[in-house]
Structure 1
Amino acid sequence: MGRLRSLPRVPLVLGSTPLVPAPRLSAELGVEVWFKRDDLTGQGLGGNKVRGLEYLLGDAIAQGCDSFVTGAGPQSNWAMLAALAARRCGLSPYLVFYGQPVHASGNLLLSTLTGAEIRYTGELDRASVDGAIDKLGAALIADGHRPYVVPRGGATPLGCAGYVRASLELAGQLMAADLGPTRLWLATGSCGTQAGLVAGSRWLQTSYDVVGVSVSRPVAECADRITALARGVADLLELPHADQVTVLDGYLGPGYGLPSPAGDAATRLVARTEGVFLDPVFGAKAMAALVDAARSASIEGPVVFLVSGGAPTLFAGAKAPL
């Protein structure tokens, strides 16, 4: 805990996000489900990425940086929240997106409202963003700026510290609710959130297995990334290494960033039972996996589902590149 407390941090999350029961969904599925509402982190329209940004922006400020450079796709929750949080901290945001300029809706519209300088790689390959971010950072340095350069999703060991901290928060809530879940269930994209939760679970010796549902990458790649990031944040915080990573496959649907029929059905189910919106890119697909697992009786409850936010993508249209 000492190393975690010593890291520079900007308080962006507005207190502990709620841990709440989902009784109507539980009755529908035959498995007790609770929601960890990280769609209510409070920065912008909320979302899980705010937790990592607390530490990344804290480090940027500690280093005297004047700008924040990152990227992803035009509908990225990460990019929008990074730009918004950077503005709050007095840093100029720069975003690199793959593809060509598109109509501003959903997260892209919100990113535009922040006044971020947005550039496009002109390539459909998501990986084209990585080199372009580094190139832009170098150009800003050459112009006399002090940029803080962060890869897609904020998936660095330091960024993962946000969900090690969240594990502590959740542990207190589980104790208060006298709840011992068997699984903590979430969508896995850039892998930083799951890595932080895996490291936190190992540290706290929790009762639950952290179960990620891949919505972006092959499962083997996810497992490798999560393992490396979890070890990186464990080393940073002087914690023991985790020895188990669980990632489920089969719910990507038509592809990354594209809604799936199973995800759409899960979104309707959760909205109509619990009044909670799931985004089509991450949360909906993770919930589709949970629905299938519950209905096939392959899991026992209680299960905590991380609602990771991303509601602006509901307004982006099914064909918007993400």
Structure 2
Amino acid sequence: LKVAAGDTVRKGDVLAVLESPDLSDELKRETSSYEQLKAEVARQHILARKQKLLAKREADTAEIERLSAQRTLERYESVAQVGVIAKIDYQKAKDALNSAEIRARHASQAASLEGDDVQLALQTKTNELERQRLSQANAQRRVDELTVRAPVDGFIGTLNVQNRMVVAANAPLMTLVDLSKLEVELEVPESYMTDIGLGLNAEITLPSGKATGKLSALSPEVVKNQVLARVRFDGEQPKGLRQSQRVTARLLIEERPNVVMLPRGPFVENDGGRFAYRVEDGIAVRTPVQLGATSISAVEILSGLKPGDKVVISGTDTFKNAQRVSINR
């Protein structure tokens, strides 16, 4: 291990180095095979040039013989007109030229075929070398992966292994917290699920101030009447945040400015939220009200109350629906 829990790391920093004799041996074998094939390809290049040279030499020799036979025939033709040579000698020279032309033509074709043959053998060997190069590169990649590097900037959360510890394949080694991608985790009452959805605006209260975000994920599971939700910060993430830090957030289901509202209390559930006890001169008067939008902490009053009214928001169950109740302070 190259780091400890709590260390800050940068992208690319070495976090741990694993040892795998099997992968190291495989890399050595693949590298040895690659070097051997590379040498064979080099020898094949030399052999190809040599074979081409030999074939060209034979073709050139045949061409020289053809030219010599042609010159001999031309000399015989010049003296044959005056009857200096026998007809049989002239015919022999002519046959020799024909034979030389055939040999030259065959030698040229053989040289071309030999060139194609050695080129094919060279290409086959080159393909084998390329396949081995890919195998060697794959083995090298697997060995390189034994050096674990940080994929992002962040800090080390927890270590799951110790130095010189034997670990199974795909076993987690440590937790790396990406500080640039932190999200706020919320528990939302199940009753609000019909009112919220992805992309809903949120307001997060931090020690350093307030920030805004949007609802980015909702769990499909309900646990103890709560649904887990995640909020992602808008724009640049606030500075100084830590993993598992506690913050306060609220989802803005609906924004209504300039409304009459009360802190939410048990009175909302009593009588279906149709009545509230308004306090006048120490007397709580049961008053019909109409509720509007509600949130976790507040409720909108559409009618029945006005700004400045004092209202009993808790403990009204002891009033037993009385029209007037004296309040003793």
TM-score range, shorter chain: under 0.3
Q: Greater Rg, structure 1 or structure 2?
A: 2
Q: Identify which of structures 1 and 2 has the higher relative contact order when contacts are C-alpha pairs closer than 8 Å and 6+ apart.
A: 1
Give me the TM-score of the superposition, normalised by structure 2: 0.19
Which has the larger helix fraction? 1
Which has the larger strand fraction? 2
